[in-house]
Amino acid sequence: MKGIWKYNEYWSTADDMTQLTMGEGNTPLLRSDRISKKYNIPNLYFKLETSNPTGSYKDRYAASAISHLMLNKSKLCLATSSGNTGAALAAYCARANMPCYIVVVDGAPAGKLNQMRLYGAETLMVKGFGKDEEISKNTFDELKAFALSMNSQVQISAYAYSPEGMQGVESIAFEIAEELPEDNVKVFSPSGGGGLTLAVGRGFLKWKEKNKEYSLPALHCVQPEGNNTIAGPLKEKLRTATAISKSVTKVSGLQVPNIIDGNQTIELCNALHGDGHLVTDEEIFKIQGELARLEGIYCEPAGAVALAGAIRARSEGLIKGDQHIVCLITGHGFKDETSIDRMVEKGNPFFENIEKVKNYILHK
């Protein structure tokens, strides 16, 4: 079975449903070379979700979510997204011949919107959605009720709204467990509403149930300081997440001022002996550039958040030299091309002839 469905024994409904796939999953677990040396993290790995069909881990979600809609004979897909969820759902809806309507967050990157539209989805933007906590909550609630009236289910990549879709994301943990069964593993996951981190944690627990000898990793939650709903409370040993009035981070995809899956994420990170880590937007953009220049990994800013958190943890003495550190690289750089402008020099040197090109290179 291709894609995430090779793990269908872990999902109770999987045997009874159409298993839509585009070959998602089975992504590389790449060992770091240069960044590990620069920051003294000898056993550093990157889980490259950038290699999924539409360029992010959300393809795992979409495969499961649209399969469930097909099982329930839904006639359309209604979703919200800041970009990656919408692109994944749009692609899988195209494959399933299902109409797709996506309410996108205010200010979603043009590259992500164009990707959704290219697959045939209609994108509908709501002012303040994804930035303002009250507007976001009202939008979520209204869409949930509207989807039910249309014999469907609103697709939001969170257990609070689409637990069936989130089952697919749990396959990230299954793959890490298969490829890195060692003891003393720490997994760093970026969080907006908490769904990804929660899914990875639940995946590890499910794996442990069937593989008793497996040693559970510690699960760490990383957020930008401008969207501190989960990581800060987790670090401060609080039991619940904290909603914020406005998300001020510039990191697209992690602008989620609402709690959503935050409380369950804190509970599970505590159970798996993890912690919360906050990083600045500046740290994230810096690491995004270093991933490209030092490791050849082109990711969007959100894809660099986990590594920024791990580097911060190492600087604080929270990572030991013999520990295996896995950072989730969640989305490809083409998802947010505008973020690259701040890192890449504009224009090219212009030369009169090839001899001057050769001279330029020799004297670089």
- Residue 151 reports pLDDT greater than 90: no
- Residue 358 reports pLDDT greater than 90: no
Residue pLDDT, tens place only, 40-98: 999 999 999 999 999 999 999 999 999 999 999 999 999 988 789 999 999 999 999 99
Cα–Cα separations (whole angstroms), residue 260 to 57, 140, 162, 196, 266: 19, 10, 11, 12, 12
**Helix, coil or strand: residue 221:** strand
Res. 201 pLDDT band, cuts 50 70 90? very high
Strands (E), the chain: 29-31, 43-48, 77-81, 100-104, 122-125, 185-190, 218-224, 276-279, 324-329
Q: By mean pLDDT, which of 78-92, 219-233, 341-355 is the weakest? A: 341-355
Task: Report pLDDT for 60.
Answer: 98
Look-up: residue for tokens 């750089």? Answer: 333
Res. 106 pLDDT band, cuts 50 70 90? confident
Residue pLDDT, tens place only, 307-338: 999 999 999 999 998 899 999 999 999 877 77
Task: Report pLDDT for 342.
Answer: 66
Task: Report pLDDT for 37.
Answer: 97
Q: What's the token pair of residue 254?
A: 């992690």
- Residue 15 reports pLDDT greater than 80: no
- Residue 25 reports pLDDT greater than 90: yes
Res. 356 pLDDT band, cuts 50 70 90? confident
HEC readout, 285-328: HHHHHHHHHHHCCCECHHHHHHHHHHHHHHHCCCCCCCCEEEEE
Task: Report pLDDT for 109.
Answer: 77
Query: Hey, do 3-56+166-342 and 58-165 end up sharing a CATH topology, with the first three levels equal?
Result: yes
The class level of CATH for 58-165 reads alpha beta
Task: Report pLDDT for 345.
Answer: 63
Q: What's the CA gap between 160 and 344, in Å, rounded?
A: 39
Q: What's the CA gap between 55 and 57, in Å, rounded?
A: 7
Task: Report pLDDT for 255.
Answer: 87
Task: Report pLDDT for 198.
Answer: 98
- Percentage of the chain modeled with pLDDT above 90: 72
| Residue ranges per structural domain of the chain | 3-56+166-342, 58-165
Give the count of beta carbons closer than 10 Å to the beta carbon of residue 317.
7
Task: Report pLDDT for 341.
Answer: 66
- Asked if 259 contacts 242 with a C-beta cutoff of 8 angstroms, the reply is yes
Total residue count of the chain as it appears in this document = 364
User: What's the CATH number for 3-56+166-342?
Assistant: 3.40.50.1100
Task: Report pLDDT for 340.
Answer: 66
Q: Give the residue from 276, 221, 280, 277 showing the smallest Cα distance to 248.
A: 280
Q: What is the DSSP letter of 5?
A: G
Q: CB-side exposure of 240: number of CA atoms within 13 Å?
A: 5
Q: What's the CA gap between 49 and 26, in Å, rounded?
A: 9
Residue pLDDT, tens place only, 117-147: 999 999 999 899 888 888 988 988 899 899 8
Q: By mean pLDDT, which of 88-97, 228-237, 337-346 is the weakest? A: 337-346
Over range 266-286, report the average pLDDT: 97
Task: Report pLDDT for 214.
Answer: 97
Q: By mean pLDDT, which of 173-187, 240-254, 327-341 is the weakest? A: 327-341
Q: By mean pLDDT, which of 145-159, 184-198, 215-229, 330-344 is the weakest? A: 330-344
Average pLDDT, the chain: 92
Task: Report pLDDT for 137.
Answer: 86
Task: Report pLDDT for 347.
Answer: 67
- Percentage of the chain modeled with pLDDT above 70: 96
